[in-house]
Every structure is written in structure tokens, then in C-alpha cells.
Amino acid sequence: MAEDRPQIYLITPPAFDAAEFAPKLASVLDAHEVACIRLALASRDEYEIGRAADALREVSHARDVALVIETHLGLVERHGLDGVHFTDGARQIRAARKALGTDAIVGSHCGASRHEGMNAGEAGADYVCFGPVGETTLGTGARAEHDLFQWWSEMIEVPVVAEGALSETLIAEFAPVTDWFALGEEVWREDDPAAALGRFIAAMG
């Protein structure tokens, strides 16, 4: 992967069987260079989440890919994960950094708010996610526009991640102004996730 190309950040589906998903993830990681994976299960079952974390940790760490978990700070150290991703801006960044130390990855989704992103960066986030980038009826529907990423990439050193309702056209448009693309259902809904990810990577130019 070219050095000036954005890196890939994979988001798991919100529900999956760990035994079935782990080999699928492995095949994608073997086909493409991925910087980080986010375990983003919707489940509130601690056992289910823990089982998934263990399975995906084996796959990702065997390939030197970082694995972070969405929201569940208390499971990071218990399952040997690399960090945590929050979905509520800057609110929990400082506490997470204090709990996990300086080596852990701590990131957060900040919607389309420049102010929230700056607060997260100042609180010690390793990266800030903005999105959705594409059109969606989920959430408020407020999109993170190109000019937000343009401004951030010129003014702020904290890496920025483009996430949500991405298409090959949007990938091409946003590639010059983002550090990472976070792809989830855009990849996993396809019959061949590795091929789908390949098309997104190719679209970066």
C-alpha cells in the first residue's frame, strides 16, 4: 500500500458467530493490508462479546493488526486487546487513557462536529472518526462533509477517520483529506468481502 494512501480500519458486523466470522476475517486480512479492526457487537452479553474478542484477537494479532473494542473499556485488558473506541465524542477519553495507559489505542466517533473532534483530540484521542460520510437514514442523517476533513487534515495533527455509508465514489473523493477509512457493512454484506475491500482500496487511486 502506498505510504500516502489512507489506511484501512475494519469494523465488524453488529452480530456474528465468532467461529464462522474469524476465518472470514482472516481471509480478508491475508488479502489486504489493514491497520486496525474494531469489534463492534451490538450484544450486551459479556460472554458472547468476550468469546468474539478472543477469537478475533488470535486472528488479528497473528497478522500484526491492532484490535480495539467498541465501548467496553473493562474488557480491553481482560481479553488482551489493543484499545477502545467510543461513540460519544470526547466524554470518556481521559478516563480511558488513565485506565489503559499511554500505549493503548483510544479513539472516538464525533459525528459531524468539529468542536467535538477537537475536544477528543485535546483529551488524548489517538484518532477521531467523523461520519457518516455518505447518505443514510440512520441516526440524525447529518453528514460529515468534505470541507470538515479538508480543514482537519490541514489544521490538526490527530489522525482522522472517515466512516459511514461509504462508496467507491466517496472513497476517491475523500482519499486526499483523510488518514483512514473505516469500512464495515460496506464490505461484510458482499459475498466476497476481500474482493469488495479490494475495490474500495483501488478507488483510492
Cα separations in angstroms, 52 against 5, 12, 45, 75, 91: 30, 10, 11, 11, 26
Count CB-CB contacts under 10 A for residue 42. Answer: 9
Domains, the chain, ranges and CATH? 7-203 (3.20.20.70)
Tens of pLDDT, residue by residue, the chain (205 residues):
345 899 999 999 999 999 999 999 999 999 999 999 999 999 999 999 999 999 999 999 999 999 999 999 999 999 999 999 999 999 999 999 999 999 999 999 999 999 999 999 999 999 999 999 999 887 777 899 999 999 999 999 999 999 999 999 999 999 999 999 999 999 999 999 999 999 999 999 8
Residues 21/13, Cβ–Cβ less than 8 Å = yes
Q: Residue 6: is the preceding peptide bond cis (ω within 30°)?
A: no
CA dihedral 122, 127, 128, 132 (to 10 degrees): 180
Closest to 172 (Cα-Cα) out of 134, 198, 204: 204
First to last CA, the chain: 11
Residue 63 cell numbers, joined:
497478522
**Burial classification of residue 75, based on how many CB atoms lie within 10 Å of its CB (0-12 exposed, 13-18 middle, 19 or more buried):** middle
Instruction: Select from 115, 119, 162 the least CA-distant residue to 8.
Output: 162
Q: Is 179 helix (H, G, I), strand (E, B) or coil?
A: coil
Contact 132, 139 (CB under 8 A): yes
Rounded to the nearest 5 degrees, what angle is found at the Cα of 106, between the Cα atoms of 17 and 27?
A: 35
